[in-house]
Structure 1
């Protein structure tokens, strides 16, 4: 879950007393003083056809494990929806929550778990691997939503996105936050999820599930990573790999992963992580069909009529999440769970409402891609939005967001 559902973010493991958080970073950290240019919200033809997401394909997934060394479970699994009927009561959320778990655990290479999970899943499924050089963007859904808020004029919080060109055309959009953890607000989202979902065997120590899909966004080939709150339990499959149910056994079963393109290396080799710790994987969990994934939300009875679908609908659309379950409560006592499906009449209303913004997003991405290509593989550009104005800056450092071994796949 994330803050759009009642100012909620997925909590990290609660600790007592609460640990101090890292100092806030400045949005302009490591950037040139003068911007390269100011981005304008694109204009569109009013009669242009609607932008659609087509040819969607699941390509990988993973769960983070709470370990001192960055560790993921591949393919992992979202928590299973238990279908518990209300009424029931949960306590306020508390503790430390992740704002960006990938950034917290792999601060120098936030996209590395994405590539690792895709490589492992593609190999285990007997596929040749993704044609990375044909992709236009590799990004988190979060970055697309931030750009949509800028387009909508509702970017209430300033943001930054670091960019880098891989190969001849692929733009890597790296999530960048002033802080990757924060203290929980007194809402009910996490405890609602804890009450209504449960991780499966092998994934019990998980702290969040991420899914990676590729799709066509009106001609742009996108690879998009996003967090999944829950899934409708699918039938067991041959990929339902069981692992240890406690963290000690999980750590004992850790294996290093090599993600070299030719897959000829020793699978026990480690990934060169630069300044980040080595990323390790556990083979457990099972692939979940796209049709089973669920976005969860909570809302008080008093504020139900003002629930922000302008904020929530893009979350569903940009990941093609088919189910949305909204828990309605009064002071933590849940009385009903509203279930909606992508494509249902009430959500089609919001698709129509957001149609022009999706067209503008498509055009903005094309302009961003052209700008990044112009600056080449050695260019290091960053988008910074302050008070609704989106500017492009050059970064002072030439550090790559990924190791050379990973970047080389875009040159094939």
Structure 2
């Protein structure tokens, strides 16, 4: 398990606390899991074949109209490991201690893909659940659903960067889903070193109503290359604003609907109480239904930051240029760099940058490369339509081409049948019209927490049931 010294100065720095942000995994082997078998080769995408088609997308190879459509927090749950999220959740707040802070180096084991570990049946489904809860017409005109990892790996491919990866591809209605695939949902990061886990615990604070959170996930919608994308990513934290620490709704008023409230989430998503737990997080058994509840406050994307820690001797190196592609994918404009000397962090060595202009300049400079990324996305959509089941797998080995392979039986579907039905239905909803009756729209999703559905004990802190420990 990871530990960080307590905040502040004086004797308190001699105590230790568990890392609540990225909990380690109990009783998990650290050996590498064997890769799943590969299906038959269907086709290949080579970079040399993209040059001609990419030229048609140079004018549109920029991200336009980004907006956060939903967010949620993964919660530390009871020892049963029942997967639980809260909507909209809140990212941890930047609360740096005064003076220098001595931290212990990261220890323990950490999941490669938190979403897959917590909900291995359908890792993208919690984001879709949160999205439909916030926006009944979420699927309208969406061409691609991805995460920062899958989109980032395709970006690495067109940038000629060495990286092996596998991505499951599935066409649902008119939308292409790109699902990250590790060797196992509980695959662990090997050789964890540094302070990338203990530093956030010491310098960030979860707000009281989401204090049992383990991560904050966000769902962005933007236009890129003539395509409408939904992109999920994990936020490291947020910078409180001087006058209003929680600001801006997730969507503009035109995209929200009062008829889609806490009582209107699918019956298959049973709400559960979130109990305090000091033990490491336990991965889902794979058969648990997603538990959903309401907590947190929406935080503007403008306040979100990405965080990196580095040794002090690297302070004069250009770290930002290495990280900009990730910031671009997630449209993050604040970058926090914390430099340390043998685990000692001083305020003068913690740098907070507004990188919006840097990201915009990178996007302009990388126009030809991003046009190739657009070309790849269009090819993937076309190839999915050619398959009878709309499914295949993208495989890449280090610096190789993209191999499009047949999915084998061990590959899970992107969404469960019930959520897939809601996704298709949400694509048919046009707010302000009679295409779908408003009564029918609200009845498609409902909130049900089973037999103990007494909300009379709700507190001002959590706005939910008094059975929780917030």
- Give the drift of 1:195: 1.6
Indicate yes or no: 2:331 matched with 1:320. Answer: yes
Residues 138, 222 of structure 1: 8 Å contact kept: yes
Partner of residue 189 from structure 1, selected from 175, 196, 203: 196
- Give the drift of 1:263: 9.2
Partner of residue 131 from structure 2, selected from 118, 122, 125: 118
- Give the drift of 1:72: 0.6
Distance 1:268 1:396, change over 3 A: closer
SS at match of 1:400: coil
- Give the drift of 1:306: 4.1
Match of 1:342 in 2: 355
Indicate yes or no: 2:175 matched with 1:170. Answer: yes
For these two proteins, the number of residue pairs brought into alignment is 370
Match of 1:364 in 2: 376
Residues 168, 178 of structure 2: 8 Å contact kept: yes
Matches within 5 A, 1:200-349: 200-233=207-240, 235=244, 269-271=267-269, 276-335=287-346, 336-344=349-357, 346-349=358-361
Partner of residue 403 from structure 1, selected from 416, 420, 445: 416
Match of 1:88 in 2: 101
- Give the drift of 1:73: 1.4
Residues 327, 359 of structure 2: 8 Å contact kept: no
SS at match of 1:202: helix
SS at match of 2:381: helix
Match of 1:392 in 2: 404
Distance 1:217 1:50, change over 3 A: closer
- Give the drift of 1:132: 0.9
Match of 2:64 in 1: 54
Match of 2:27 in 1: 19
Distance 1:183 1:204, change over 3 A: farther
Distance 1:108 1:311, change over 3 A: farther
- Give the drift of 1:270: 2.3
Match of 1:145 in 2: 152
Larger radius of gyration: 2
Cα distance in structure 1, aligned partners of 2:215 and 2:323: 19
Cα distance in structure 1, aligned partners of 2:329 and 2:405: 26
Unaligned ranges ≥5, structure 2: 1-18, 250-258, 271-283, 429-470
Distance 1:354 1:237, change over 3 A: closer
- Give the drift of 1:177: 1.1
Cα distance in structure 1, aligned partners of 2:96 and 2:146: 32
Residues 93, 238 of structure 2: 8 Å contact kept: yes
Partner of residue 104 from structure 1, selected from 97, 107, 117: 117
Residues 262, 294 of structure 2: 8 Å contact kept: no
Unaligned ranges ≥5, structure 1: 1-8, 123-128, 241-260
Segment of structure 1 superposing worse, 326-335 or 217-226? 326-335
Matches within 5 A, 1:128-143: 129-143=136-150
Distance 1:205 1:239, change over 3 A: farther
Segment of structure 1 superposing worse, 100-109 or 48-57? 48-57
Segment of structure 1 superposing worse, 346-355 or 76-85? 346-355
Give the TM-score, by structure 1 length: 0.81
Cα distance in structure 1, aligned partners of 2:28 and 2:219: 32
Aligned-residue RMSD, C-alpha: 3.2
Distance 1:360 1:309, change over 3 A: farther
Match of 2:390 in 1: 379
Give the TM-score, by structure 2 length: 0.71
Segment of structure 1 superposing worse, 349-358 or 261-270? 261-270
SS at match of 2:178: strand
SS at match of 1:98: coil
Cα distance in structure 2, aligned partners of 1:50 and 1:298: 35
Cα distance in structure 2, aligned partners of 1:263 and 1:348: 37
Residues 93, 184 of structure 1: 8 Å contact kept: no
SS at match of 1:58: strand
Residues 83, 291 of structure 2: 8 Å contact kept: yes
Cα distance in structure 2, aligned partners of 1:406 and 1:268: 8
Residues 215, 234 of structure 2: 8 Å contact kept: yes
- Give the drift of 1:26: 4.1
- Give the drift of 1:217: 0.9
